[in-house]
Amino acid sequence: MARAAFGAGCFWHIQEEFNKLKGVIKTEVGYMGGNFENPTYKNVCSDKTGHAEIVLVEYDEKKISFKKLLDVFWKLHNPTTKNRQGLDIGSQYRSIILYYTEKQKKEAVESKKEEQKNHKNEIVTEIKKAGKFYRAEEYHQNYLKKKKLRL
């Protein structure tokens, strides 16, 4: 079992899309990338914690590759807008890949270079070593599924 973490705007939609992939074992939404211990949603929304809304993905490398997860990540959002996705504005909505291994880092950097060819504007996606994961409040977990909503 491997782990990957992605931020691409509001974590609700991203979680739902990663959950659809064969080989993804489990997803959780939460916060990572900042310097604030035990943040709450309210803390993260203050834009003062440095954390991004992220989806932690546990996956079976025999069934799905990190490269495939990256391909899906790029399709789920606009990686050329800094600190925003659509109407969601703030650093917590930034585009970020948080890697767990040097191999993931290398693949993320290569993938970003390839993806840049598809965009006129510069990709602003951060690539950063994964830090401590802070699980979001329970009502955020699988939110769209719980509410029977589709985006």
CATH of the domain at 11: 3.30.1060.10
The 24-32 sheet, strands edge to edge: 126-129, 95-99, 2-8, 52-59, 24-32, 134-135
Whether pLDDT at 114 is above 70: yes
Whether pLDDT at 75 is above 60: yes
Among candidate residues 8, 10, 76, 130, the one labeled active-site is: 10
pLDDT band at 111 (very low <50, low <70, confident <90, very high): very high
pLDDT band at 87 (very low <50, low <70, confident <90, very high): confident
Structural domain of 125 = 2-147
For the chain, the straight-line distance linking the first and the last C-alpha, in angstroms and rounded, comes to 29
Q: Report the domain count for the chain.
A: 1
pLDDT band at 149 (very low <50, low <70, confident <90, very high): low
Q: Does the model's pTM come out above 0.75?
A: yes
45 is catalytic: no
The pLDDT value given to residue 83 = 95
